Amino acid sequence: MSLRFQADADLNPAIGIGLRRREPSIDFRAAAGVMPDGAPDLDVLREAAEAGRVLVSRDIGTMPGHFADFIRQQESPGLLLIPSQRPIGNVIEGLLLVWMIWTEEELLNQARWLP
């Protein structure tokens, strides 16, 4: 089974649009309608985990610490962190690369930087 992604509310919606344009079969769920703006990190992590999705976030300040706390209590499909200065095109290519080569087992309970 391929990785499934969940965008955090801080992620530019153009990333999901561009990613699906590049690879229509990728399962990338936007935050709109799922992740309310300002939702606490633990709620965001819980929603992504319950849906079986790797969370994709630009929140490199607080999300890694909350993720560490979260995985002490329950499993997570993983967390992909993206530096905010990374151009959208590079983010799209990085997510596509992750989707093509990483397995669910490689990301389980792991916080990783987007390549």
Amino acid 33: pLDDT: 85
Amino acid 38: pLDDT: 84
Which domain range does residue 21 map to?
4-113
Amino acid 59: pLDDT: 94
| Calpha distance 74→23 (Å, rounded) | 31
Helix (H, G, I), strand (E, B) or coil at 102: coil
Burial call 26-50: b when 16+ CB within 10 Å, e when fewer: bebbbbeebbeeebebeebbbbbbe
Task: Tell me the per-residue pLDDT of 19-43, one tens digit each, with 9 for 90 and over.
Answer: 999 999 999 999 988 877 788 999 9
- The torsion angles phi and psi of 60, rounded to 5 degrees, stand at -85, -5
- The torsion angles phi and psi of 106, rounded to 5 degrees, stand at -70, -25
Which CATH number characterizes residue 13's domain?
3.40.50
Is residue 1 pLDDT above 80, yes or no?
Answer: no
How many domains would you assign to the chain? 1
Amino acid 82: pLDDT: 96
Rounded mean pLDDT, 53-66: 96
Task: Tell me the per-residue pLDDT of 81-106, one tens digit each, with 9 for 90 and over.
Answer: 999 899 999 999 999 999 999 999 99
